Structure 1
Amino acid sequence: MPHFLDEIAATVGLEGDLFLTVVLVLLSYPLGFAMRLIKNVTFRHIYSLVLGVLYIFLCFNWQIFHFIIPGLICYLLLYFNVKYSRRIVFYFMLCYLFGLHVYGMITRYLEYTLDITGPMMLLTTRLSSLGYNIHDGSGRNKRVTKDQKERSIPHLPSLLHYWSFIFYFGGILMGPPYEIREFLDFMSHKLNLDKPKDAKPDKLTDGLFEGLKKLLTSFFFGGLMFFLSIYFNDDFLKTGGYLKSNWIRRFLFSIGLGIAVRSRYYTGMIMSEGANIFSGFGFNGYDKNGNKKWDRLVVFHPIKVETAQSWRDVSESWNIRVNAWLKRYAYLRFAPIGTNKSTTVASYLTYLISAFWHGLYPGYYMAFLTMSLVLEAGKAMRRNVRPFFLKDNGDGNYPFKYIYDGIGTIIIGFGAANYCGLPFHFLEFKTALMYWKGLYFYLHILCIVVLVVFTVGGKFMLRFKKVKLENERRKALHEKISREQTKDKQD
């Protein structure tokens, strides 16, 4: 990296390699806008490919071969239509990524270094989904769903389109993840085919304001990350101050550090999302008023994450594109719709793949296994407790529903998101265990109690609710009949 960039990086407090990545993502804004001017599809693919190769080479030099080698192997597997090629490609990419994670742990355990592993994680989502997209579009999948059909392609793309898909500059460094069908539609100007008659005329500057809002939002979270990191950091935990403080302070520390850690992810992903809006890839159809939507590549809904009332709310608002990849190409492949395969087993296997995809540090597995526990406890609560706060027609029984939602926000938004997520940040087993120990393992205990209680008594509680509702209906019906009989006598 040029020396003057090193000096600027030191001034703003960023590592040189991370600063270069941020500079390239910011450069993707004008380069993305320039892509709008290129109408020829072949030139668009060449433009995307050349810039992506340049980005990777500038950041990682000859580590670019980690893109080329698995890219070639996956292409050959799909080209020769090897039996079960979709699964082979999926697990080959995971195993290749596994090798990089192992190498990283051996050479720099717990040390931060920006290397090719991050972009390889994104490449894994692209290539592992590609095999299934081709399989779903070939007619060989007899249980293809509507969503799978919409994301499918009939055959392997050409070499130019394939390598452009791999090296697309707008998503190669920080994401967001994307799939082959939407990428090819974007490159060939097909995202806008379903334009409604009352839609506003297209302009070259469409979406730029939304892209700038994303950029400013990323700056906000970047500033928030730096500010909170001054007061909430790992030193408080590792120097012993954490365990010496009272429980309330530990819980508040958990909230502050959790927001600081999540803000780092918000910053990078939202910044990259804005660059893709500038290129036009973020376009996602029209709303009911004929206005263009630019939310195709949304990765986070920060407000929804921080105020979530259930773990499902967190999952639907955090790392959305990766969670969608896991759902479509792991969970729904383990337990396809319309089969009797265990969804619980599929959930745990999916979380295991997610941890495997992220890396091999113990903190990842501690985090994701705990998330699975929270998810199952949340399902039990939703089935057995939530009905008591709903009316007969399914609407909320207010003001009691506000109390239920408020407790959910405290437990999930302020508690579980940090309790589950921070071991992911700590990485090592000892530090994560110390963190949970300081909170007396409260969430593990709470989830286990919920599962035990509702496994034993849940059916009784639900039956009691149903009997109560049935008695109320009978009482209302009896009163109605009595009124009608009284009216008939009067007549």
Structure 2
Amino acid sequence: MPDDIIYATLLLVSVGSGVLVRNTRSILARKLIASSVGIGLVLFSCGLEGVHPLIVTGVNCLLILLVGARWCHIASFIWCFGYLAFFRAAHWFGLPRPQPVTNALQLFNALRMIGVAFEVHDAQYIKKRDNVSEEAAKLQKEFQMTPSSLDILQYSLCYIGLFTGPYYKYRTYHDMLHLKVDAHIPIRKYALARIKQLPVIAVVYLGCSYFFNIQYVKTEEFSQDPLWFRLVYMVPMFQIFRTRLYLAWIMSELMCFTAGLGAYPVEAKAKCGEGPSDFVALKECSEKDVCHMEYEFETVHNLDIWGCELAPTTREGLRSWNMSVQYWLAAYVHRRLPRHLGAGRVAITMGVSAFWHGIHPGYYLSFLTVPPILVAEDLMIAAFRRGSATQMLLFDWACWFFKMRGFDYNCMGFLLLTYGDTVAYWKNIYFMAHIVIVIFCVIGYLLRPKKSKKKKE
């Protein structure tokens, strides 16, 4: 069965199952339904390969119990990423090569298991932030949880986001189970806003997929095509790549909506991945009549299409893409690293992200190209983004054009995967993006405004 049909089936069943979960009053019944649907989807799509996430979850529960809250997050991180490496290299040891759908399952299960270990750690050792009141810090401490092994197993098997994300905390899952059925949640409003986007995205995806294929890039005929054609070919390939992900992520948000996952009162100021940030307001809302509160789904907001498509800079475009995974990387990697590492924190975080995506060299070639793009972009902004509003608008559109070409260029590494194929394509277009990056760095550096030196008294 083609992968696209399998994914479509998984997503449609997951969206439909949310209605049953949300309208079930018993908390235990909700747990069982969410876990049972998850087990069914794993068996349907992965078969016996579904044992891999069970192994990861089981050992992760043991680590939390045996290592304790102080170090369980480090042990879990090493274990989950270590097993992820073994899982991807299993065919080197005579085991069958995992299916792509099983790989997706393993990816998001690793995020959940490491995340829940950090939640257990933070529940005991959370630090009070300087700008937070004593009351808010106390309520934040109460909001943290230490789930049992059975709770973690059920969280791992919950069908929502098993294969496509978004990442959500155990606390978010717990709050879904305890959500009052008669809560005033504008599900239809959020669902319709997402559903309206699906037809256009689907047409673009199917149209580009019909006329363009990544396999053609590997042929001898492609290298004989005109340079302009080889350059332009990466544009529809990135169009196929991102619209396919758009479809999956929109359906993922829909399955959260129908189940009520990630629904919090507007006053709680929920953030993507994290959940509520205003714990005083959340406490006050818990004492109100739920019928008089408005809820929103910012916790599971995983995709900002307008930001991805129209943001003028690479940094803004990246922030709009797979937002819950970016939250995970920021919360459990970047912010946990010592501040004295400086820019090294960014490099380590991007290395973790590349490893999480896979072990194919194409991922690393693409990820390593991002930092130079950001440097070139920042230098050009410092040098040229000034003057009248019209001049800045023109610069922003030019910046947007080169941002999209950078995404097109790096996307080829994600699609071609191997070192040889990726470098062969880049060589076919004379490493155009790398040359432009160097040119922009030099121009931006030479023409940026000089910092004025303060005169000594």
Same fold (TM over 0.5): yes
- Is the counterpart of residue 324 in structure 1 residue 327 in structure 2? yes
Q: Does 1:54 align with 2:76?
A: no
Cα 1:18–1:450, aligned 2, differ >3 Å: closer, same or farther? Answer: closer
CA deviations over 1:23-71 (Å, ceiling 9, x no partner): 2321222210111112222222222112212221222122222122211
Task: Say if 2:418 is the partner of 1:428.
Answer: yes
Alpha-carbon shift at residue 409 of structure 1 (Å)? 0.7
- SS of the aligned residue for 1:130 comes to helix
Q: Which of residues 387, 390, 396 is equivalent to 1:399?
A: 390
Query: Quick check: 1:380 aligned with 2:370?
Result: no
Stretches of structure 1 that go unaligned for 5 or more consecutive residues are 1-5, 7-14, 193-200, 391-396, 468-491
Task: Give the letter aligned to residue 379 of structure 1.
Answer: D
Aligned-partner SS, 1:38: coil
SS of equivalent to 1:462: coil
Q: CA deviation at 1:400?
A: 0.8
Tell me the amino acid that sits aligned with residue 75 of structure 1.
C
Could you say which residue in structure 2 is the equivalent of 1:226? 206
Task: Give yes or no for contact 1:283–1:294 (8 Å, CA) kept in 2.
Answer: yes
TM-score normalised to structure 2 length: 0.83
Match of 1:238 in 2: 218
Residue in 2 aligned with 1:169?
Answer: 159
Q: Is the alpha carbon distance of 1:106 and 1:323 closer, same or farther for their aligned partners in structure 2, counting shifts above 3 Å?
A: farther
Deviation at 1:354, TM superposition (A): 0.9
> Which amino acid in structure 2 is aligned with residue 341 of structure 1?
L
1:264 Cα deviation from its structure 2 partner? 1.2
Runs of 4+ in 1 over 6 A off after TM superposition: 105-109, 142-149, 287-290
Distance 1:136 1:142, change over 3 A: same
The CA RMSD over aligned residues, in Å, is 3.3
The alpha-carbon distance between structure 1 residues 426 and 105, as it changes in their structure 2 partners (threshold 3 A), is: farther
Query: Which of 301, 312, 315 is equivalent to 2:315?
Result: 312
Alpha-carbon separation, structure 1, partners of 2:256 and 2:229: 41
Query: For the residues of structure 2 that align with 1:215 and 1:187, how far apart are their CA atoms?
Result: 25
Partner residue in 1 for 2:361: 362
Residues in 2 aligned to 1:212 and 1:406: alpha-carbon distance in whole angstroms: 31
**Equivalent residue for 1:122, pick from 108, 116, 119:** 108
Unaligned runs of 5+ in 2: 270-291
Out of 379, 386, 390, the position equivalent to 1:389 is: 386
Alpha-carbon distance, 1:115 to partner:
4.0
* Per-residue deviation, 1:260: 0.9
Local SS of the residue matching 1:116: helix
- Write out per-residue CA displacement over residues 194-231 of structure 1, whole angstroms, 9 at most, x where no aligned residue: xxxxxxx9557x31353244345345433322210122
**Pairing 1:285–2:253 present:** no
Shift of 1:105: 7.3
Q: Is the CA contact (8 Å cut-off) linking 2:412 and 2:422 kept in structure 1?
A: yes
Name the CA distance, whole Å, in 2 between partners of 1:133 and 1:375: 32
Query: Deviations along 1:243-284, whole A, 9 cap, x unmatched?
Result: 333333233221111101111111112112112111111435
- Counting only pairs closer than 5 Å after superposition, residues 202-281 of structure 1 correspond to structure 2 as 202-203=183-184, 206-215=186-195, 217-281=197-261
2:58 is equivalent to residue 72 of structure 1: yes
User: CA offsets per residue over residues 90-134 of structure 1, 9 Å max, x none?
Assistant: 12111111111112578799x994342111100111111222222
- CA 207–51 in structure 1, closer or farther in 2 if over 3 Å, else same: same
Q: 1:98 aligns with which of 85, 89, 94?
A: 85
1:434-453 matches, cutoff 5 A: 434-452=424-442
Retained in 1: the 8 A contact 2:383–2:444? no
Instruction: Report the AA paired with residue 266 of structure 2.
Output: Y
Partner of 2:282: none
Q: Which has the larger radius of gyration?
A: 1
Work out the number of aligned pairs and report it.
Answer: 427
1:445 to 1:104, Cα distance in 2 relative to 1, 3 A:
farther
- What SS class does the counterpart of residue 307 from structure 2 fall into? helix
CA shift digits 1:304-355 (9 cap, x unpaired): 21223111112111111111111111111224xxx3331x211111111111
Q: Distance in 2 between matches of 1:67 and 1:54?
A: 14
Q: Which amino acid aligns with 1:176?
A: P
Match of 1:411 among 381, 402, 410: 402
Contact map agreement 2:71 2:121 (CA 8 A) in 1: no
Alpha-carbon displacement from aligned partner over 1:388-443 (angstroms, at most 9, x marks no partner): 516xxxxxx31111111011111002x01111122111101122112222332222
Query: Does the 8 Å CA contact 1:136/1:152 hold for their aligned counterparts?
Result: no
CA contact (8 A) 1:225 1:264 kept: yes
Give the equivalent residue in structure 2 for 1:371.
370
Residues 143 and 65 (structure 1 numbering): CA distance in 2 closer, same or farther, change over 3 Å? farther
Q: Distance in 2 between matches of 1:454 and 1:89?
A: 43
Which residue identity does 1:128 align to in structure 2?
A: I
Determine the structure 1 residue equivalent to 2:288.
none
